[in-house]
Amino acid sequence: MSLEIRIICFDQDDPKKCTAKRLERFKLSQNYNKFKDLPPRGIVLDPFAEKTLEKSDLILAEVGGLVGVDCSWNMALETFSKLRLMGLEPRKLPNIIPANPINSGKAGKLTTAEALAGALMLCGKPEQAEKLMSVFKWGPAFLELNNSIWKE
């Protein structure tokens, strides 16, 4: 069973490099442009959350899905503080290394697609993570680069 993937998009970055838009084009995510349209359920991937995503969170993800946030890293703190008021369960990811061309090697500076794929791997959904990453040239390298984290 695949987990529902939802993304709130703030259109703060270059649309040609936007991983969230690409996932939507390939019908791998349901994207939203407004807070009020986003269903208030599931796990939101929040780099400022207190709790780290664990395999035991799979139950929450199966019920409500995973929510990625597509915003500029320059506006992340402000954006994520608004999401905490929506009833979503915030979870941060462990130190995952990005492979995307913009932030390659900068621990934690993930694209939306990398964050969602990382969450899928941590929840024991490798096939769905591989499908998400297959639409990016650097996607398979991302999964391989973080292989030791997925096996913990």
Q: Could you list the beta-strand ranges (E) of 43-134.
A: 43-45, 66-70, 89-91
Residues 6+ apart with CB under 8 A from 38: 6, 8, 32, 67, 86
> What token pair was written down for 17?
């490099």
Write down the mean pLDDT value for the chain. 89
Reference 116, options 100, 86, 16; nearest CA is 100
Residue 138: predicted pLDDT: 96
| Backbone CA torsion sign across 34, 142, 75, 11 | negative
User: How do strand 43-45 and strand 66-70 relate by DSSP bridges?
Assistant: parallel
Q: Grade residue 84 by pLDDT with cuts at 50, 70 and 90.
A: low
Measure the CA–CA gap between 145 and 143, rounded to whole angstroms.
6
Q: What are phi and psi of 137, to 5 degrees?
A: -55, -40
pTM value > 0.85: yes
- The full set of domain ranges for the chain reads 5-150
* Average pLDDT of span 19-32: 95
